[in-house]
Amino acid sequence: MAIRALVWGENVHEQTNQVVRSIYPDGMHSTIAAALNEDKNIKATTATLDQPEHGLTEARLAKTDVLLWWGHAAHGKVEDAIVDRVQKRVWEGMGLIVLHSGHFSKIFRKLMGTPCSLKWREAGERERIWVINRNHPIAAGLGECVEIPNVEMYGEPFAVPEPLETVFVSWYEGGEVFRSGLTYQRGAGRIFYFSPGHETYPIYHHADVQTVLRNAVNWAYNPAKPWAGIVDAPNVPIDKAREPLVQKGARLHADGEAGLR
């Protein structure tokens, strides 16, 4: 069965900005989903902010293996309850790919536990994305670097935790650097942050960027059954202990009582 990818797009600037609309007439999410669907191993669909529950219902998420997230102007309009729902699905094993300005999305900041801040400049300058480990699955099919002629600069310090792996580091014409591809694990879910993607440039039309997105979906997919009870803190009763035990000392909890939280 194909990997079920869901591309979530805020879809705001595509409606309000003529430049963005001309580059992405059907929205960035549609362009990204079409790129993913070139991989026969992926079945990508889309969801947007304006849909009921932002298109991220319990039922929809239950059928999603990997979620891609692009947001920028409307991070604050994403409802907290929906963000909590997405976070729980990541913990259970859904992959998550966070794109560009999604560094400031509620879901990314909640999963990182850090500010996720950075420096930025919108000058249309050149970016060169260097591949650190060319045999990493996310880098499959790339050369030693990917050049993008016009980008928004994202510069260090990028206030995220130390990653599991640094997959890409970017060079900018204006003199900055950025760790532009980073992997994380949170619970059973794999997370990949990928920084290119400013909406006033045709970045998601770039062949190598599309390759990275397809690779990342394949990498983030966890075929294991969702880790259903990951948020629970089960009591192990004394008579169910793996080694024989006798109760010693005072207790706070009565038998069968739930824990505190």
CB of 3 to a copy of itself, least distance (A): 15
Task: Return the SS3 of 109.
Answer: helix
Contacts of 171 (CB under 8 A, 6+ apart): 127, 128, 130, 177
| 45: Cβ contacts below 8 Å, ≥ 6 apart | 4, 5, 6, 7, 33
Give the chain's radius of gyration (CA, Å).
21
In angstroms, what is the minimal distance from the CB of 106 to a copy of itself? Answer: 10
CB of residue 87 to a copy of itself, shortest distance in Å: 8
CA dihedral 165, 74, 11, 187 (to 10 degrees): 30
Q: Between 207 and 236, name the residue whose CB sits nearer to a copy of itself.
A: 236
Q: How far is the CB of 230 from a copy of itself (least distance, A)?
A: 5
Among residues 207 and 261, whose Cβ is nearest to a copy of itself? 261
Question: Least CB distance from residue 138 to a copy of itself, whole Å?
Answer: 11
Residue keyed to tokens 């600069």: 153
| Residues 186, 95: Cα–Cα separation, whole Å | 10
Give whichever of 52 and 248 is closer to a copy of itself, judged by the CB atom: 248
Residue 228 DSSP symbol: T
Name the residue nearer to a copy of itself (CB basis): 207 or 247. Answer: 247
Distance CA 59, CA 40 (A): 24
User: With respect to a copy of itself, which residue has the nearer C-beta, 45 or 231?
Assistant: 231
C-alpha distance across the termini of the chain, in Å? 39
Q: Which is nearer to a copy of itself, 19 or 62 (CB)?
A: 19
190 forms bridges with which residues in the sheet?
A: 185
> Minimum distance from CB of 33 to a copy of itself (Å)?
23
**In terms of DSSP H, where are the helices of 68-121?**
80-92, 106-112
